[in-house]
Chain A
Amino acid sequence: MALTGLEIYKQLPKKNCGECGTPTCLAFAMALASGKGSLDACPYVTNEAREALDSASAPPIKAIKFGNGSILGDETVLFRHDKTFYHPTTLLIEIADTLSDEEVQAKLQEIEGLEFDRVGLHYTIDGVAVVEASGSPEQFAKVVAQVAAGTERSLLLLSDNADALKAALPGVASRKPLIGSATEANYEAVVNLAKEHNVPVIIKAEGLDALAALVENAQKLGHKEFVLDPGTRTPSQTLANLTHCRRLAIKKKFRPFGYPVIAFTSKTEPLAEITEASVYVAKYASAIVLKASAKAHILPLMALRQNLYTDPQKPIQVEPILHTVGEVNENSPIYITTNFSLTYYSVEGEVEASKIPSYILPIDTDGTSVLTAYAAGKFEPEKIADILAKSGVGDKVNHRNLIIPGYVAVISGKLQEISGWKVIVGPRESSGIVSFTRAM
């Protein structure tokens, strides 16, 4: 992000002395904005101004890394279609230090089970947030140690009590947990603790004004690894805060908010809580701390996160394996299409509407449509025949008929020759599948 002329001009001394070689400070600002000069040419620029101009050229939101490969922040847009969202929201499940050893173990076991394989993708929960509710630093340290021993995932140590964090952090500092929260009351102790152990720290204040002021104070302590918590715990206000933080950081280069933001759910009923968390996933939360930990509740949230953080520039693809629609049997027809999701789901919807249980074999065309793939040489008879053979569908049916898209009728002869299957040219549009099957 280059600086604008006005931003530079505001930091200049406005003496118009000409010693930099340009007649006015305005002209010098313009020269700097267009990369034609160096700030060193001005003998009167203050250190504060120099630093302000330096920091303004940093990326809008700092990347904060912690734990087991968790990355927060480093985002550049407000809407995913403008470019993409880069670092999927880090999801953390809460464990309170008031639980018994057995309860903690049971919770850990449940968390370890939160892994899913769906449509060829692997989803996991990222980490555990140990929350101090006992009021006892010893108890908090004990539970943190127990959780650390029980999981390899990223850790968040959460307490407003600096003593509790001091008791718990040294034992797990090598795991580089995120710690929190530094508040108005304790920030010097907590930020210095984070600095000493080289871990990132959550800065928490009620509302955006207080938060900006606290971040500026915390920065003066010489630590730069911050995650922001605007304090409020109602969905509407949290949504507003998340939006303001992201917008100010990116659009206004407001440095105090140039850090990732963490959100905490407020709802206790799991379905309401997941709905609330869905809003935060969509709207700029870099991390979310959840109370719900049941598989059925977490899976949809992970699926949403996966979807929102895909790159809109890259075509979305379905798994290029044999798909079935309905209760297939040895007489089920076989449709050939591509693995471009728009194409595949158009075909799948129409095949479903035909009420005839069927196989669909999407060919891996790097997620391009039928005609695009055909034009690019990714939908060749040799390739289709090869994939057909490898799919094993020949063993599942007692016929040798293939249905191909009507637009590539031209490959039917060659495909029939190579594969040994009878190639039936289907309709050009998938919307014709229903009437096509009736006529078959």
Chain B
Amino acid sequence: MIIIGERINGMFKDIGDALRNKDAKPLQHWALKQEEGGAHYLDVNSGPAVPKEERPEAYEWMVKIIQEVSNLPLCLDSTNYDAIEAGLKHLKRPGMINSVPAERDKIERVFPMAVQYNASLIGLTMDKVGIPKDAENRIVFAMELVAAADEFGLPTDELYIDPLILPCNVAQEHAPEVLEAIRMVKTLSNPAPKTVLGLSNVSQKSPDRHLINRTYLAMAMAAGLDAAIMDANDDDLVDVAATGQILLNKSIYADSYLKVFRQR
């Protein structure tokens, strides 16, 4: 189970302020803290805190100062592909691109970039029209992304399909469809694409967010989830990820498995 720490995002006030003031401290603080919590990747997203035209420069800066303190690979999160490319140029180890929808013009821009920079790529099961409701139509988009990986020469297991979970308080019917989509992704190619979720979306604006997050993580892991962009400092949540690995026979059991999981 690959944990992608979600915290370095301009939507959070402290990170937004840091970006506006070019203050490296909060970003470095959260890089280390998330690594300690059990993150394997760090998501890096400026959010709207930086004006569009300054984003490439901002991503370059974020990548540099985060890599000063952390050796974790980075997941560059933006809809601005020039910004992602600017960040990719400075990665010390192969990273991840977050994300590309199943739209031809964006596919043609991003897939070659992923191949060029040896990056993994998150593909969203949606197009301009939006997010389909049922699993079947999510999978049609996933298939397009897999065919694109084949076309542009990205190894299919470097493609992470995100079937897009929505808040369960307003889009409750999506949650089981997403689980089904995760199951179906494994039939698309050999080696199969990986799967990823923006886990915290499932509990937007609900009480008991932590409980909803970790329950859904366990369910999604059983369906075959490989990675999640999530709160790496929610210890109960990371415990569920570690326990899931054991119960799915992905890690060899030891009494100290919770500790071992965090050391990897």
Contact = CB atoms under 8 A, between A and B. Distances in A.
A9 B189 CA distance: 10
B221 interface: no
A251 B184 contact: no
A434 to B, nearest CB: 28
B72 to A, nearest CB: 30
A19 B66 CA distance: 53
Nearest to A26: B143
A30 B140 contact: yes
B189 A5 contact: yes
Contact of A4 (B139, B144, B188): B188
Contacts of A10: 150
A52 to B, nearest CB: 15
Contacts of A251: 190-191
B187 interface: yes
A2 interface: yes
Interface string A1-38: 01011110110000000000000001101100110000
A291 interface: no
A378 interface: no
B156 interface: yes
B50 interface: no
Size range of the chain B interface in the assembly: 10 to 19
A246 interface: no
A26 B140 contact: yes
A312 B104 CA distance: 49
Given A26-B143, A27-B140, A7 B184 contact: no
Contacts of B143: 5-6, 9, 26-27, 29-30
Interface residues of A, number: 16
Nearest to A251: B190
Nearest to B188: A5
Contacts of B136: 30
Nearest to B191: A251
A122 interface: no
Given A4-B192, A6-B156, A27-B140, A33 B187 contact: yes
B1 interface: no
B192 to A, nearest CB: 7
A10 B192 CA distance: 15
Contacts of B140: 26-27, 30
B24 interface: no
B49 interface: no
B187 A7 contact: no
B188 A253 contact: no
A4 B185 CA distance: 10
B18 interface: no
A118 interface: no
Interface string B117-155: 000000000000000000010011001101100100000
A252 interface: yes
A26 B188 CA distance: 11
Contacts of B184: 34
A30 B139 contact: yes
B189 A7 contact: yes
A33 B188 contact: yes
A70 to B, nearest CB: 31
Contacts of A27: 140, 143
A34 B184 CA distance: 8
Interface string B191-205: 110000000000000
A6 B145 CA distance: 10
A208 to B, nearest CB: 20
Nearest to A253: B190
A2 B187 CA distance: 8
Interface in B144-189: 144, 146-147, 150, 156, 184, 187-189
Contacts of A9: 143, 147
A5 B187 contact: yes
Contacts of A33: 187-188
Contacts of B188: 4-6, 30, 33
B112 to A, nearest CB: 19
Interface in A249-270: 251-253
A33 B143 CA distance: 11
Nearest to B186: A4
A26 B189 contact: no
A4 B150 CA distance: 13
B144 A26 contact: yes
B150 A6 contact: yes
A34 B187 contact: yes
B42 to A, nearest CB: 31
B150 to A, nearest CB: 6
Nearest to A31: B136
Nearest to B139: A30
Nearest to B140: A27
A27 B188 CA distance: 11
A26 B104 CA distance: 14
A51 B177 CA distance: 34
Nearest to A14: B147
Nearest to A6: B189
26 contacts: A4-B187, A4-B188, A4-B189, A4-B192, A5-B146, A5-B187, A5-B189, A6-B143, A6-B147, A6-B156, A6-B188, A7-B189, A9-B143, A26-B140, A26-B143, A26-B147, A29-B143, A30-B139, A30-B140, A30-B188, A33-B188, A34-B184, A251-B190, A251-B191, A252-B190, A253-B190
Interface of B: 136, 139-140, 143-144, 146-147, 150, 156, 184, 187-192
For the complex of A and B, list the 8 residue pairs with the smallest distance between their C-beta atoms, beginning with the closest: A6-B189, A5-B188, A4-B189, A4-B190, A33-B187, A26-B143, A30-B143, A5-B143
